[in-house]
Structure 1
Amino acid sequence: MRLSILDQSVWVAGRGQDDAIRDTLDLAVFAEGLGYHRFWVSEHHALPTIVGTAPEVLMAAIASRTTRIRIGSAGVMLPHYAALKVAEQFRVLDALAPGRIDLGVGRAPGSDGRTARLLNPNVAGNPDDFPQQVQELIAWTRGLPAHGVPAHPLPPEGSGLARAPDVWMLGSSDYGAQLAAHLGLPYAFAYFFMDGQGVEQALHLYRTLYRPSDRHPAPRATICVWALLADTDAEAQRQALSRDRWRLDRARGRLGPLRWPDEIAATGFDEMEQQQLAPMRARSFVGSAATVGAKLRALAAELQLDELVVNTWATDPAVRRHSYALLAREFKLAP
């Protein structure tokens, strides 16, 4: 089983947003030392809790501080941008970290409609254009011309295919699964978005409809889960209070930094909130290494996966690192 990480640069109450960005860089180095396979960073806009807005910039910084771990975007929200520019950025990243770059793309805005228009006021961003954008992106990242325009910088010596960034399709619905299958791309399902709802259908469609490509002759899928480990189940559940509170508040339109678990424990949850949290907690991956390890192995076996991507939020960076270290030890990752 390969394990990878998705980090979103989460803002913590009482700390600066810039701290979250620097913590992402430190975590990438830490993850490489533990033996994680990939380290992906996300793109969100106008969401106070998640301050990772520019994955390509973060990836360049991570590339300068690591040597082995794959680095990726999860993902670039392609409708905001020109595919050629994205391809050029990621070919530069490939020059900085040869053979280690994953280019994950998504169709969702990663923001509200007003912010989406501000990100690209000159383009309507018609979702129907997304499949064509992805095909153009694939060509340009591989040094092939699209619309008669070559990609820059120039392709590396030998086969451009061998050194091109690896394009992944990201999604949380059937649409992304079917498009990934049609284009012969690896597919990552955002399991943590909706506690896994729709994952079986999406993976079934992806595998059933898959059309082999030159780079990926067979389907390759993973999912991203949210998990938090601690030395005991009780301690993990206490640390997870921060995200529990955030999920309830976000559903009510209250957005802000991640709050500390002691503060949340002091105020608690009312009866209605407890009812809302119950099904979320039942499907969560929170607990000791043995508890979470057993759940993740069962899920991977059920979905026939050989790689999982893990996302962990915690107010204390040390708690988050300990969680990832426990998980690495549980799955016997090679440092």
Structure 2
Amino acid sequence: MTALKLSIVDQSPVHDDKTQAAALSDSVRLARLADGLGYHRFWVAEHHGTPSYASSAPEILIGQIAAGTQRIRVGSGGVMLSHYSPYKVAEVFRTLEALFPGRIDLGVGRAPGGAGQTGAALAYPDLPTPVNHFPYLLEALTGFIDGGLPEGHAFDNLPTTPQGGDTRPQLWALGSSDGSIELAAQLGWGFVLALFIGTHERPADIISRYRKLYRPRPDTVGTQGSAMTASAVICAETAEESELLAASHTYWKLQAHRHGIREGILPPERCMDLYARLSPSDKAFFDATRDSMITGTPEQCRAQLEAQAEYYGVDEILIVAVTHSFEKRCESYRKLAAAFDLGA
């Protein structure tokens, strides 16, 4: 089996009851740590109107992180394309690629990245883009990045600046199920199966079906379609500690997804106290969410991640770790890096 690559998706969580501004600084610090530990990529998520997550402008944070690191690939995981002009997104990421050649990834998703009011505010004074327009947005973005849209397209002769670079951003489509695989495959995008979103079953053939449908773009001829999974992982010295640390993210998801409450990320001990008072249905949601995460000692986490990679047929996994404590989060990534000998 090919050595498994590990990468990071950072949602810029607000740690230790600090401010959102401090959370952005923590993201830069974490990226520098990941660069030194041997992680392959560092992606920044996009959230709006969410007090517990600070990254609302990933394209700005990407530039700061790329400037402060040496070799790690840096990108978005992902830009919520339905809010934006594909032409502008292409120009932003071509600019980043010109500044940091061979290191920039453009990951996009179709989800809104926030509550309904934030989607309306991002579109104002127009209306939010209907979800069924996403394929047209992604097709246009592909052409703008590659430097050519099909003949007859409204913008087929429009240049995308900056010009003159020898490389282009890698393109990745994010999905929590199989809803995006056909579109990603037909346009020649890589595909990320986001297992950390939801608890529903995602069968192994999602990735194999994507690869069967894959049609390479001009600069990816000969490839079979790049695919990754993305999972929530908390690694600690003991399994008990890792499960306790995971309670902070689990409780946040419970409040956000079942009750629409996007409060701060609470200390894990407080979350377990609150767990005891939950209704049976809320406890069931909490338990299912925690069980969908990978937790344990370094050896246990490595075994579970390798089993996941074999099941889906991937050689790279993106790790999402959200904890109340920034230092505990860093320690989780340190332990994973050591378990996989990433710096070797």
Q: Normalising by the residue count of structure 2, what TM-score does the alignment of the two structures yield?
A: 0.90
Q: How does 1:43-54 map to 2 (within 5 A)?
A: 43-54=46-57
For residues 141 and 181 of structure 1, the distance between their equivalents in structure 2, rounded to whole angstroms, comes to 16
Aligned to 1:225: 231
The reply on whether 1:126 has 2:143 as its aligned counterpart is: no
Aligned to 1:173: 177
Moved more, 166-175 or 66-75: 166-175
Task: Indicate which of 106, 110, 121 corresponds to 2:109.
Answer: 106
Moved more, 242-251 or 312-321: 242-251
Aligned to 2:152: none
Q: Normalising by the residue count of structure 1, what TM-score does the alignment of the two structures yield?
A: 0.93
Moved more, 305-314 or 87-96: 87-96
Aligned to 2:329: 320
Aligned to 2:199: 195
For residues 275 and 83 of structure 1, the distance between their equivalents in structure 2, rounded to whole angstroms, comes to 40
Query: Quick check: 2:44–2:58 contact (8 Å CA) kept in 1?
Result: yes
Q: How does 1:306-317 map to 2 (within 5 A)?
A: 306-317=315-326
TM-superposed CA distance for 1:151, in Å, is 0.5
Q: How does 1:1-335 map to 2 (within 5 A)?
A: 1-12=4-15, 14-121=17-124, 122=126, 124-144=128-148, 146-156=155-165, 162-195=166-199, 197-216=201-220, 217-250=223-256, 251-270=258-277, 272=280, 273-334=282-343
For residues 229 and 50 of structure 1, the distance between their equivalents in structure 2, rounded to whole angstroms, comes to 21
- Give the counterpart letter for 1:221 in structure 2: A
For residues 266 and 25 of structure 2, the distance between their equivalents in structure 1, rounded to whole angstroms, comes to 19
What's the secondary structure of 2:102's corresponding residue? coil
What's the secondary structure of 1:170's corresponding residue? strand
Query: Quick check: 2:37–2:342 contact (8 Å CA) kept in 1?
Result: yes
TM-superposed CA distance for 1:237, in Å, is 1.4
Query: Quick check: 2:15–2:326 contact (8 Å CA) kept in 1?
Result: no
For residues 294 and 196 of structure 1, the distance between their equivalents in structure 2, rounded to whole angstroms, comes to 22
For residues 339 and 16 of structure 2, the distance between their equivalents in structure 1, rounded to whole angstroms, comes to 31
What's the secondary structure of 1:175's corresponding residue? coil
Identity of aligned residues (%): 36
- Give the counterpart letter for 2:225 in structure 1: P
Please tell me the root mean square deviation across aligned C-alpha atoms, in Å. Answer: 1.8
For residues 304 and 136 of structure 1, the distance between their equivalents in structure 2, rounded to whole angstroms, comes to 30
Moved more, 42-51 or 272-281: 272-281
Query: Quick check: 2:142–2:187 contact (8 Å CA) kept in 1?
Result: no
For residues 45 and 164 of structure 1, the distance between their equivalents in structure 2, rounded to whole angstroms, comes to 28
For residues 110 and 124 of structure 1, the distance between their equivalents in structure 2, rounded to whole angstroms, comes to 13
Structure 1 residues 142-187: Cα deviation after superposition (integer angstroms, max 9, x where no partner): 344643210111232xxxxx50111111111322111111112110
For residues 127 and 250 of structure 2, the distance between their equivalents in structure 1, rounded to whole angstroms, comes to 37
TM-superposed CA distance for 1:267, in Å, is 4.5
Tell me, which stretches of 5 or more residues in structure 2 are unaligned? Answer: 150-154
- Give the counterpart letter for 1:108 in structure 2: A
- Give the counterpart letter for 2:120 in structure 1: R
- The number of aligned residues is 330
- Give the counterpart letter for 1:131 in structure 2: P
Tell me, which stretches of 5 or more residues in structure 1 are unaligned? Answer: 157-161
Moved more, 9-18 or 310-319: 9-18
